């Protein structure tokens, strides 16, 4: 019981910042159609939404830079110091967006402030996720590493449920006009209010035993030496990017893009669009933890092959079925099926990625692989989906995007099959 309490506390401490990161990302995605009107007004609402999602993607493009700079800092000076720094930067981004005046009030300065806020958030997020995953892998007891690391993504699902739950409540009590006028800022203000609390609990983190043991050696390493090590293991980085593609694209589709997809493409109400995302985030959490635990029991390889094959064969058919049989029940069922693919894949993929990275650049290598995948594929998923639907007039076309990335991740598992259990 003593160890359980200790581990639960550590998971909570390190996962809290990850919670804030995903909460920030979610509320931007959830309110993208409103943010488009407030900061990127255009006679064509489709263009406004693309601009908003373009800024969303711009934050993702900063992730690789953050992964190198902050990931290197984490590898050199420690997990605790690095995670406190990422939290500080993340907070700046949250506050800048929450208090930014509208385009109507200050003109072109408004979207510039929003863009800068997203860039800062993306920069910090580049190493936050990797730092948390590595921390959890280094404190995990023997035989439970997969289950422990799964809590990194688990904290994100809790953030998703929290963010969308707030959305459901707000849209229940406030009219669409009130939400578009000022109500959309409330979730951002809530994010600002929890920042001091998260700072407090993260400052109480202990350094991981594994880093503490090698601390003297790591501090002597120059940043250039860390970068050199990364380039020496560039093949592993590429495979890592291929592995993360399914994680990030499926997540951004079923969680970040779904509210906009359901509202703008399938014509559901905002409450229904947000409500399904709450359900999906809880489903994600369940499958992530089950997958992490199962990978500890039966091996990473079997779980990864199963999840990637599911992604390949069911994604497009599911969206075809949904768009031909639109109902709230079918929306939930299709999203739950895609949640199964995401949760089972990512619950095992994250710990696998932490295990294949060299120990000397574990945080930087992990963060860079993850960040590039998010920047190039995940962060662009809402914009790509919106663009493809507009160009092809096929509302199921995002399923092809999901299928393609699942194929690439399947190839990555084939490449590393001899290196994993």
Contact predicate 221/53, CB 8 Å: no
For domain 2-416, which CATH number applies: 1.20.1250.20, 2.120.10.60, 3.50.50.60, 1.20.1540.10? 1.20.1250.20
Q: Which two tokens stand for residue 181?
A: 């006028």
Contact predicate 82/66, CB 8 Å: no
Distance CA 328, CA 238 (A): 39
pLDDT at site 54 = 79
pLDDT tens digits, 31-54: 877 888 888 887 766 778 777 877
Counting DSSP H helices and E strands in the chain, the numbers are: 20, 0
pLDDT at site 1 = 45
- Residue 149's SS3 state is helix
Closest CA to 322 of 258, 382, 378, 386: 258
pLDDT at site 2 = 57
Closest CA to 185 of 100, 108, 120, 262: 100
Distance CA 367, CA 248 (A): 13
pLDDT tens digits, 316-357: 999 999 999 999 999 999 999 999 999 999 999 999 998 988
> What distances in angstroms separate CA 184 from CA 28, 59, 254, one per listed residue?
10, 20, 21
pLDDT at site 226 = 61
Distance CA 127, CA 189 (A): 24
pLDDT tens digits, 357-405: 877 677 778 888 888 898 888 878 888 898 899 899 999 999 999 999 9
Q: Residues near 189 by Cβ (< 8 Å), separated by ≥ 6?
A: 98
What is the pTM for the complete model shown? 0.82
**What is the secondary structure of 312-330 as a DSSP string?**
HHHHHHHHHHHHHS--HHH
Neighbouring CB atoms inside 10 A of 193's CB total 10
The continuous run of DSSP H or E covering 13 comes out as helix 2-30
Where in the chain are the domains?
A: 2-416
pLDDT at site 214 = 64
Count Cα atoms within 13 angstroms, Cβ side, for 335: 31
Count Cα atoms within 13 angstroms, Cβ side, for 354: 25
Contact predicate 66/129, CB 8 Å: no
Alpha helices by DSSP H, listed for 40-144, are 45-61, 63-77, 79-98, 103-106, 109-139
Residues in the chain with pLDDT < 70? 1-2, 44-45, 211-212, 214-227, 229-230, 360
């Amino acid at each position: 019981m003593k160890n359980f309490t200790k581990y639960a506390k550590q998971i909570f401490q390190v996962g809290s910042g990850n919670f804030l990161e995903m909460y920030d990302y979610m509320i931007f995605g959830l309110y993208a159609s409103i943010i488009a009107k407030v900061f990127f007004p255009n006679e064509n609402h489709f263009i406004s939404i693309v601009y908003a999602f373009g800024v969303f993607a711009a934050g993702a493009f900063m992730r690789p830079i953050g992964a190198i700079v902050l990931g290197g800092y984490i590898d050199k000076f420690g997990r605790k110091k690095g995670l406190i720094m990422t939290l500080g930067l993340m907070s700046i981004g949250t506050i800048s967006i929450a208090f930014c005046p509208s385009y109507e009030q200050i003109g072109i300065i408004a979207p510039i402030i929003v863009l800068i806020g997203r860039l800062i958030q993306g920069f910090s997020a580049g190493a936050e996720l990797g730092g948390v995953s590595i921390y959890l892998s280094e404190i995990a007891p023997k035989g439970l590493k997969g289950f422990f690391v799964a809590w990194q993504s688990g904290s994100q699902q809790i953030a998703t449920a929290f963010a969308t739950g707030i959305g459901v409540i707000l849209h229940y009590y406030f009219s669409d006009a009130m939400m578009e006028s000022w109500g959309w800022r409330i979730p951002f203000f809530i994010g600002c209010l929890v920042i001091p609390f998260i700072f407090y609990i993260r400052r109480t983190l202990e350094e991981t035993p594994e880093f503490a043991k090698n601390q003297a050696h790591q501090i002597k390493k120059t940043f250039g030496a860390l970068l050199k090590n990364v380039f020496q293991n560039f093949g592993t980085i590429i495979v890592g990017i291929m592995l993360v593609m399914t994680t990030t694209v499926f997540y951004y589709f079923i969680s970040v893009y779904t509210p906009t997809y359901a509202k703008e493409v399938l014509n559901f109400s905002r409450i229904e669009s947000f409500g399904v995302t709450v359900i999906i985030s809880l489903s994600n959490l369940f499958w992530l933890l089950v997958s992490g635990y199962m990978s500890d029991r039966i091996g990473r390889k079997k779980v990864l092959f199963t999840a990637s094959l599911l992604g390949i064969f069911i994604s497009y058919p599911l969206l075809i079925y949904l768009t031909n049989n639109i109902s709230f029940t079918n929306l939930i069922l299709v999203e739950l099926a895609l949640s199964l693919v995401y949760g089972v894949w990512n619950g095992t993929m994250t710990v696998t990625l932490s295990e294949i990275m060299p120990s000397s650049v574990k945080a930087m290598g992990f963060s860079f692989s993850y960040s590039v995948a998010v920047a190039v594929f995940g962060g662009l998923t809402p914009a790509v989906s919106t663009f493809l639907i507009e160009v092809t007039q096929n509302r199921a076309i995002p399923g092809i995007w999901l299928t393609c990335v699942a194929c690439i991740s399947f190839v990555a598992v084939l490449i590393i099959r001899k290196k994993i259990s």
